[in-house]
């Protein structure tokens, strides 16, 4: 498809319907209380402006300042441009895997507004000259897969998409949502990350330039294409424009997925969920690859919004929570390099001894040494994320560390966990395909 030259003024520009507190992606939920089918979606937003020239769409996304909503935060317009500038037909991969156990923002979006995601994926394909869109979902979420297959079928029968969308179901392991793992699986390999370079935008699926974007990112792209970059920047701030979805979990009064201005603080996010359900000990921002932050005192701003914000009650043991997460991450590694095969399990064992054993000062010295060796040495970023979590725990729970070293496990070390940590079982070798 080769659209004719147009300008940004040809993008559809009616004012979008207004949702509560600037809601955009979740607008339909507030209007109807349920998911949107294709007819309702088109009635609300109109058709996606897929006839716009590629350079027009890319320029709009660049000026909007949209960044990736999957955790990386890379400028989406630059990713689009990098793929569009390569030679040969491109490929678009919509990443709906969401392997983060503490998060469900993408699952919520795919349930309530699947056609916004599919609009954005097809628009990205038009902008990059891609002939195919691959939507990657976790095969463990059978109902989600069935809903998305129905949505793609609706669009095919209605003839709304100039580029076909294929739905794929992948193994659901923690590292299988990494972009090179998706590419590797689509190329016939295991859903394990691969070493880079080349990056997917250089040589990805079938060795073609490949754009891999999170489904929330693509839904925002669909709205920018309709209403323009200036509208997008009406929410958020100069450095973090637009809105973002965040899963609020743990010790909050109304756990759930919330859409907030992208420059919101963690305190604002907690308030959106009704505030803490009691006194807090700490807040985990960014999920299992994120960082622990001190609990916000009244009026304080402990950090910026992320896709997951988990509130830890004051009586919980942050060391035990972290030890459980590290054991899970160690079991979920791809086992392709030394840091994942040996370093991460060793760190998890040290942290378990600190949380539940009778550790003395040597274990802390050994743990700090090993944590210094993990970042930047793996075949992927899995060891880096685990190390970041562990280092932040040692810092934020410093008083707990001292008490555990001196007196052994605290009274809450064996209490039920606040974080939703799955069992630490390594995937079978044949479960990666």
DSSP string, 56-83: HHHHHHHHHT-B-SSSS--BHHHHHHHH
Predicted confidence at residue 197, as pLDDT, reads 83
The rounded percent of the chain whose pLDDT value lies above 90 is 77
Tokens 């999170």 sit on residue? 214
DSSP 265: B
Predicted confidence at residue 145, as pLDDT, reads 98
Backbone phi and psi for residue 87, each to the nearest 5 degrees, phi listed first: -85, 150
Q: Could you report the per-residue pLDDT of 40-67, keeping only the tens digit for each?
A: 999 999 888 876 677 789 999 999 999 9
Q: Could you report the per-residue pLDDT of 312-321, keeping only the tens digit for each?
A: 999 999 999 9
Spatial CA neighbour of 368 closest among 352, 355, 350: 350
Helix (H) or strand (E) holding 95: strand 90-95
Mean pLDDT (the chain, rounded): 91
Sequence ranges of the domains in the chain: 8-232, 243-313, 318-426
Tokens 């999957």 sit on residue? 70
Predicted confidence at residue 361, as pLDDT, reads 77
Return the CATH number of the domain spanning residue range 318-426.
1.20.1440.230
At the topology level, CATH places domain 243-313 in Ubiquitin-like (UB roll) (3.10.20)
Spatial CA neighbour of 56 closest among 227, 241, 233, 225: 225
pLDDT above 70 (res 300) = no
The rounded percent of the chain whose pLDDT value lies above 70 is 94
At the topology level, CATH places domain 8-232 in Rossmann fold (3.40.50)
Predicted confidence at residue 428, as pLDDT, reads 87
**Would you give the distance in Å from CA 47 to the centre of its chain?**
27
DSSP 199: P
Rounded-to-integer distance, Cα 44 and Cα 113, Å: 11
Q: What token pair was written down for 149?
A: 């297959």
Spatial CA neighbour of 255 closest among 268, 267, 246: 246
CATH topology identical between 8-232 and 243-313:
no
133-158 mean pLDDT: 97
Rounded-to-integer distance, Cα 397 and Cα 414, Å: 17
Q: Could you report the per-residue pLDDT of 268-285, keeping only the tens digit for each?
A: 999 999 999 999 999 999
Predicted confidence at residue 376, as pLDDT, reads 85
Q: Could you report the per-residue pLDDT of 360-407, keeping only the tens digit for each?
A: 778 999 999 999 999 888 878 899 999 999 999 999 999 999 999 999
Predicted confidence at residue 22, as pLDDT, reads 78
Identify the bridge partners of residue 243 per DSSP, sorted by sequence position.
Answer: 261
Predicted confidence at residue 4, as pLDDT, reads 27
Spatial CA neighbour of 288 closest among 370, 389, 380, 376: 389
Please give the full DSSP string across 292-317, using - where no structure is assigned: EEEPPPTT----B--SEEEEEETTS-
Q: Could you tell me whether strands 210-214 and 130-138 are parallel, antiparallel, or unpaired per DSSP bridges?
A: unpaired
pLDDT above 60 (res 193) = yes
pLDDT band at 17 (very low <50, low <70, confident <90, very high): low
Helix (H, G, I), strand (E, B) or coil at 126: helix
Peptide bond into 197 cis (omega under 30): yes
pLDDT above 50 (res 5) = no
Identify the bridge partners of residue 256 per DSSP, sorted by sequence position.
Answer: 248
Report CA dihedral (14, 58, 220, 249) to the nearest 10 degrees: -160
Q: Could you report the per-residue pLDDT of 79-134, keeping only the tens digit for each?
A: 999 999 998 899 999 999 999 999 999 999 999 999 999 999 999 999 999 999 99
Predicted confidence at residue 9, as pLDDT, reads 39
Predicted confidence at residue 405, as pLDDT, reads 94
pLDDT above 90 (res 16) = no
């Amino acid at each position: 498809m080769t659209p004719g030259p147009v300008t940004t003024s040809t993008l559809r520009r009616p004012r979008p319907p207004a949702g509560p507190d600037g809601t955009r992606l979740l607008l339909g939920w507030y209007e109807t209380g349920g998911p949107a089918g294709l007819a309702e979606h088109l009635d609300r937003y109109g058709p996606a402006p897929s006839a716009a020239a590629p350079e027009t769409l890319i320029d709009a996304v660049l000026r909007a300042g949209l960044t990736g909503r999957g955790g990386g935060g890379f400028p989406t317009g630059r990713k689009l441009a990098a793929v569009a500038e390569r030679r040969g037909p491109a490929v678009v991969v919509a990443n709906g895997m969401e392997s983060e156990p503490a998060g469900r923002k993408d699952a919520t979006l795919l349930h309530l507004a699947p056609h916004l995601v599919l609009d954005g994926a097809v628009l990205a394909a038009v902008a990059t000259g891609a002939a195919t869109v691959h939507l990657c979902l976790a095969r463990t979420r059978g109902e989600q897969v069935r809903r998305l297959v129905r949505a793609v079928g609706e669009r095919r029968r209605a003839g709304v998409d100039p580029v076909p969308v294929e739905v794929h179901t992948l193994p659901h392991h923690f590292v299988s949502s990494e972009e090179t793992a998706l590419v590797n699986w689509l190329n016939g390999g295991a859903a394990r990350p691969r070493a880079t370079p080349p990056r997917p935008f250089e040589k990805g699926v079938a060795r073609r330039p490949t754009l891999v974007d999170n489904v929330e990112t693509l839904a925002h792209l669909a709205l920018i294409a309709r209403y323009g970059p200036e509208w997008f920047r009406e929410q958020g701030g100069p450095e973090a424009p637009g809105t973002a979805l965040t899963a609020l979990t743990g010790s909050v009064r109304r756990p759930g997925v919330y859409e907030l201005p992208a420059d919101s603080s963690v305190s604002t996010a907690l308030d959106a969920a009704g505030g803490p359900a009691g006194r807090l000990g700490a807040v985990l921002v960014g999920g299992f690859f994120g960082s622990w932050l001190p609990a916000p005192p009244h009026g304080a701003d402990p950090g910026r919004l992320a896709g997951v914000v988990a509130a830890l009650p004051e009586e919980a043991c942050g060391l035990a929570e972290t030890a459980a997460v590290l054991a899970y991450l160690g079991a979920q590694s791809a086992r392709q390099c030394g840091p994942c095969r040996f370093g991460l399990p060793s760190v998890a064992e040290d942290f378990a001894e600190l949380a539940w054993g009778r550790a003395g000062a040597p274990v802390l010295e050994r743990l700090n040494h090993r944590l210094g060796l993990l970042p930047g040495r793996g075949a992927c970023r899995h060891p880096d994320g685990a190390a970041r979590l562990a280092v932040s725990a040692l810092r934020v729970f410093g008083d707990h560390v001292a008490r555990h070293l001196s007196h052994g496990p605290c009274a809450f070390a064996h209490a039920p966990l606040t974080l939703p940590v799955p069992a630490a079982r390594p995937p079978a070798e044949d479960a990666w395909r």
